[in-house]
Chain A
Amino acid sequence: MAIEVQIPTILRTYTDGEKTVGAEGATLSDLLADLDVKYPGLRDRVVDDAGLRRFVNVYLNDEDVRFLDGLQTAVSDGDSVTILPAVAGG
């Protein structure tokens, strides 16, 4: 069983328009590496040399991974990962 990753509209050019894709790995970092094999270029839109890009939020089962272990956050089968651009409110 793979981990389900929700792809935001803006990055679906990399996934042939797929909204949800499966990926494997023990950590978020592994997961993104696996995604990049299947969808080359996707990883670079989410992370840069410093880690997660400033205007990208990644949630593991609805919790912001920046408050978990960031890219080293452990993931396991059945988890859901959501990638979203940062938006304003108010």
Chain B
Amino acid sequence: MRFPHLLASVGHTPIVGLPHLSPTPDVRLWAKLEDLNPTGSVKDRAALAMIEQAEADGILTPGATILEPTSGNTGISLAMVARQRGYHLICVMPENTSAERTQLLRMWGAEIVYSPAQGGSNEAVRVAKDMAKRHPDWVMLYQYGNAANARAHYETTGPEILADLPEITHFVAGLGTTGTLMGAGRYLREHKPDVQIIAAEPRYGELVYGLRNLDEGFVPELYDPSVLTSRYSVGPHDALMRTRQLLHEEGIFAGISTGAILHAALGLADRAAGSGDSADICFIVCDGGWKYLSTGAYEGTLEEAAGAISGQLWA
């Protein structure tokens, strides 16, 4: 595959079968390797689409400053694109994210404003919105409500999956901004009305839910529950167990959120196998494990690893 430049290579990721984790010959698991994008995460698709849309709309002009609340991955993708397009990027990121996220953001030239750990990404959103009010010349792409985020997946991720796996019965992805599920989910459902669209949501430690009141809760503007068939909450123990299982049994070195997604996918696979149905279950490998090495996720017992990531935003 040959591309004129790096940004043109975003997407076009492979889907690989998981022969060891698939429960029966008729119930097959498939992993879409989004870690093979330029910054190693699925967020490259949304970041590129949001910047290109803002350029097309005339909102983003040469030399502009972009502001974005992020738990890290979207920020890293935006930094990679911004660097090549000549924009300055300021990310508002919760302080309880992995050291590698900070290192990667700085490496690609982004400036980081840390938001308090308590409240997680909700707090980053709040801080960024306050900053945006004070700096009207900055451009906040706002991944949680930017239609280009979901559209990137409607136009690329969804069609790629259907082309490579026309027999798909279930699509499983992580729920953060909801962009992947809304975009790819809508596309798949339009072309295969019976497909099941399943969300796997990380369940963090208590610190992350430490809001001052319930009204500080946050539902991304992009979220449309009618796209989903079901939604599961997956805790750190299950996520870590599956992350390691994916590595040991299939050789795929993924980040922790992928373990959460795999946990939901395996639940669906077991259910299909139990009822004698055949199924082709495709799930997203959001990113590789590289950014989480310092968290201790891959060392010691599961209990030790779960303890190590308990206050972290691990997805």
Contact = CB atoms under 8 A, between A and B. Distances in A.
Contacts of A62: 203, 232-235
Nearest to B235: A62
Interface stretch (A20-28, A31-39, A48-56): A48-56
Nearest to A88: B121
A1 interface: no
| Interface SS of chain A | mixed
B117 to A, nearest CB: 13
A66 B176 contact: no
B186 interface: no
Contacts of B204: 87
Given A86-B219, A89-B315, A8 B176 contact: no
Interface residues of B, number: 48
Contact of B175 (A45, A56, A89): A89
Interface string B198-218: 010111101011111111111
Interface string B267-289: 00000000000000000000000
A56 B217 contact: yes
Contacts of B22: none
A22 B211 CA distance: 24
Contacts of A54: 217, 219
Interface in B16-48: 43
Interface stretch (B58-66, B69-77, B104-112, B302-310): B69-77
A85 B204 CA distance: 11
| Interface SS of chain B | mixed
B176 A59 contact: no
A85 B211 contact: yes
Nearest to A19: B206
Nearest to B125: A88
Given A66-B231, A89-B121, A84 B214 contact: no
B157 interface: no
Contact of B225 (A45, A63, A66): A66
A82 interface: yes
B230 A67 contact: yes
Interface in B148-193: 174-177, 179
Interface string A50-90: 00011111010011101100000000000000101111111
B258 interface: no
Contacts of B231: 63-64, 66-67
A59 B120 CA distance: 20
A89 B174 contact: yes
Contact of B216 (A8, A9, A84, A85): A85
A9 B210 CA distance: 6
Contacts of A88: 69, 71, 120-122, 124-125, 144, 176-177, 218, 220
27 contacts: A8-B209, A9-B209, A10-B209, A53-B214, A55-B215, A55-B217, A57-B233, A62-B203, A62-B232, A63-B230, A63-B233, A82-B203, A85-B209, A85-B216, A86-B217, A87-B121, A87-B209, A87-B217, A88-B125, A88-B177, A88-B218, A89-B174, A89-B175, A89-B176, A89-B177, A90-B73, A90-B179
**Interchain residue pairs A-B with the least CB separation, the first 4:** A55-B217, A89-B176, A88-B121, A64-B231
